[in-house]
Amino acid sequence: MAEYRFSTTWRVDAPLAAVWDAIYQVDRWPDWWKGAVRTVELEPGDARGVGALHRYTWKGALPYRLTFDMRVRRVERPHALEGRASGAIEGDGRWSFAAAGARTVVRYDWHIRTHGWMNWLEPLARPLFRWNHDVVMREGAKGLARRLATTVETEGRTFRPLPDADCADA
């Protein structure tokens, strides 16, 4: 199995509670996050959401879809959300949230292992898989900017919502 470690930081000009709510409500991701094709709750969790099982289908810039399940392992509202992935990929994802004045700093850490066809292609396609992940996360930043009608900065880029519901990349 090939291993990947990704880390993405978004700086959002919005209150912590609003950013938390947008990320925590995974069933709404396909409404605003290009690349989040589908999210389905397979099992509910407890009152905080711990134990919930969701199935995600993602589509990046490359010509494949990736479907996997994610079990929520930790919820510390509004600071941390963690889950364990299984299926086409295995591993752990962690969202961290911190207030920074009027902004919210969001960090997503994703440590995964791939299976099957991704492992066969890994020696040549590893840079493409990394690039594809980055594309999906940039689309998330753009979508969050639209959803919250605010500015989101990531990887030296700034996304601002436009009146026609698109997003400017400054």
Residue numbers of the domain that contains 158: 3-169
Coil, helix or strand at residue 113: strand
Distance CA 66, CA 162 (A): 30
Q: What share of the chain is helix, strand, coil (3-state, %, to 5)?
A: 30, 45, 25
Q: How many domains does the chain have?
A: 1
CATH number at residue 102: 3.30.530.20
Per residue in 101-136, pLDDT (tens digit) is 999 999 999 999 998 877 778 887 889 999 999 999
Which structure tokens are listed for 31? 């409404």
Coil, helix or strand at residue 155: coil
pLDDT band at 170; cut points 50, 70, 90 = low
Distance CA 103, CA 89 (A): 33
Amino acid at 154: T
Q: Which residue has the tokens 């040549």?
A: 124
Q: What is the pTM of this model?
A: 0.92
Q: What per-residue confidence (pLDDT) applies to 165? A: 58
Distance CA 54, CA 115 (A): 19
